[in-house]
């Protein structure tokens, strides 16, 4: 099967990441042990994850022509990604995320200021119609302004493009949007917030899936952290385990999963095979520091899969 094109529509922000022996409580100053600055944002991480996994990707995002914006453009050039669908804001700066990671537990706390990528206009979306139309998949999240997400999902749905919605950062989703989503990929916390069902067993995960099916979603993929990933389609459901790895930083693991998932689907794999592939990409990413830079390349994912049969 010919590899299908993927449009990834989402946020770009610069990640300012510090690690420390513990996360500060309000009012506390903690001495950090390490600081890094690099490209991030859920949309961008997912676009890079898909590209590095071997996919044919168009990344759509919005930045400003400023120092942080240049980080997006330079990263895309290094990865041989087309920058022709990056929009430029005249109003707001390129966004930034302050990420604090507890070096003992790998837990993190993130404060993200979206800036330019929360200002994607209807005109911006309309200008990518040809690209969306010629894609097999649209992968998007909830980190840009939601009216733009709704518009691009509507466009993709009209052209029969498979819509994959990663529900991060979680927020209410209209029924109108949900009914145009083919594959939804919440984590367990997001699934509970969106459905009201605590995803603490396979049975309850299926109940959450049925909530989404009732809204018109066709396939439900709930990531469960180290418990694996729950997959539910009209035909069957079950949990795919994840291999045990030495975790360094879980930030961006969901993004690695989503990007690799869609890369694999676009090669013609079914949802089960694609989730195994995506689990491998996410497992590798958590053994590395940072977000966009932690995304594995295809040969690393293939090697991991052959070592963890």
- Please list every residue from 175 through 234 that binds ligand RIB, using CB under 6 A: none
Cβ-Cβ contacts under 8 Å for 258 (sequence gap 6 or more): 46, 49, 139, 141, 164, 166, 185, 278
Both tokens assigned to 152:
């691009």
Q: Name which of 40 and 186 has its Cβ closer to ligand RIB.
A: 40
- Please list every residue from 40 through 59 that binds ligand RIB, using CB under 6 A: 40-42, 45
Distance of closest approach, residue 208 Cβ to ligand RIB, in angstroms:
21
Catalytic position from the list 124, 182, 249, 255:
255
Q: Name which of 69 and 252 has its Cβ closer to ligand RIB.
A: 252
Among 4, 8, 9, 13, which residue sits at the site for ligand RIB (rule: CB under 6 A)?
A: 13
Distance of closest approach, residue 229 Cβ to ligand RIB, in angstroms:
16
- Please list every residue from 76 through 105 that binds ligand RIB, using CB under 6 A: 97
Distance of closest approach, residue 168 Cβ to ligand RIB, in angstroms:
6
* Residue 3 DSSP one-character state: P
**Number of other residues whose CB lies within 10 A of the CB of residue 31:** 7
Q: Which residue has the tokens 């459905």?
A: 195
Quick one: which segment of 36-44, 60-68, 150-158, 267-275 binds ligand RIB (CB under 6 A)?
36-44
Distance of closest approach, residue 101 Cβ to ligand RIB, in angstroms:
11
| Cβ-proximal residue to ligand RIB, closest one | 40
Strand 108-115 versus strand 94-102 pairing type: antiparallel
Residues 279 and 257 sit within 8 Å (Cβ to Cβ) = yes
Q: Name which of 15 and 192 has its Cβ closer to ligand RIB.
A: 15
Quote the strand ranges of the chain, DSSP E: 6-9, 13-20, 34-40, 57-63, 86-88, 94-102, 108-115, 137-140, 162-165, 183-184, 219-223, 229-232, 237-240
Q: Which residue has the tokens 């890094």?
A: 36
Among 6, 9, 10, 15, which residue sits at the site for ligand RIB (rule: CB under 6 A)?
A: 15
Q: Is 167 in the site for ligand RIB (CB under 6 A)?
A: no
Cβ-Cβ contacts under 8 Å for 9 (sequence gap 6 or more): 43, 60, 61, 128, 138, 139, 140, 144, 148, 149, 152
**x/- site string to ligand RIB, residues 135 to 154, per CB under 6 A?**
--------x-----------
Name the phi and psi angles at 189, rounded to 5.
-70, -45
Q: Is 110 in the site for ligand RIB (CB under 6 A)?
A: yes
DSSP character string of 91-144: SSPEEEEEEEEETTT--EEEEEEEEGGG---HHHHHTTHHHHHT-SEEEE-SSS
Q: Is 252 in the site for ligand RIB (CB under 6 A)?
A: yes
- Please list every residue from 60 through 79 that binds ligand RIB, using CB under 6 A: none
Q: Name which of 109 and 174 has its Cβ closer to ligand RIB.
A: 109
Separation of alpha carbons 256 and 145, rounded Å: 22
Name the phi and psi angles at 140, rounded to 5.
-145, 170
Does residue 80 have an active-site annotation? no
Q: Is 249 in the site for ligand RIB (CB under 6 A)?
A: no
**Residues carrying an active site annotation:** 255
Residues making contact with ligand RIB (CB under 6 A): 13, 15, 40-42, 45, 97, 110, 112, 143, 251-252, 254-255, 291
């Amino acid at each position: 099967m010919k590899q299908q094109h993927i449009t990834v529509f989402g946020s770009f922000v610069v990640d300012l990441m510090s690690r420390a022996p513990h996360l500060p409580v309000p009012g506390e100053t903690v001495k950090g042990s390490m600081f890094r600055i690099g490209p991030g944002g859920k949309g961008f991480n997912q676009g890079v994850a898909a590209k590095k996994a071997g996919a044919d990707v168009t990344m759509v995002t919005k930045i400003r022509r400023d120092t942080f914006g240049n980080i997006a453009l330079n990263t895309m050039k290094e990865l041989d990604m087309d920058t022709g669908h990056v929009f430029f804001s005249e109003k707001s700066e390129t966004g930034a995320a302050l990420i604090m990671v507890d070096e003992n537990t790998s837990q993190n706390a993130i404060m993200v200021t979206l800036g330019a990528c929360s200002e994607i206009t209807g005109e911006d979306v309309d200008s990518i119609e040809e690209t969306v139309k010629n894609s097999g998949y649209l992968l998007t999240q909830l980190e840009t302004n939601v009216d733009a997400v709704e518009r691009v999902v509507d466009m993709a749905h009209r052209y029969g493009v498979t819509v994959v919605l990663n529900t991060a950062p979680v927020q209410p989703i209209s029924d109108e949007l949900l009914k145009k989503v083919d594959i939804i990929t919440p984590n367990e916390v997001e699934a509970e917030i969106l459905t009201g069902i605590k995803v603490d067993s396979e049975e309850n995960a299926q109940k959450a899936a049925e909530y989404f099916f009732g809204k018109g979603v066709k396939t439900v993929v709930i990531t469960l952290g180290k418990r694996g990933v729950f997959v539910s389609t009209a035909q069957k459901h079950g949990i795919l385990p994840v291999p045990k790895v030495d975790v360094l930083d879980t930030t961006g693991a969901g993004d690695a999963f989503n990007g690799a998932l869609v890369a694999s689907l676009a090669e013609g794999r079914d949802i089960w095979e694609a989730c195994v592939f995506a689990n491998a990409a996410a497992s590798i990413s958590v053994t590395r520091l940072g977000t966009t830079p932690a995304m594995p390349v295809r040969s690393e994912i293939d090697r991991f899969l052959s070592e963890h049969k």
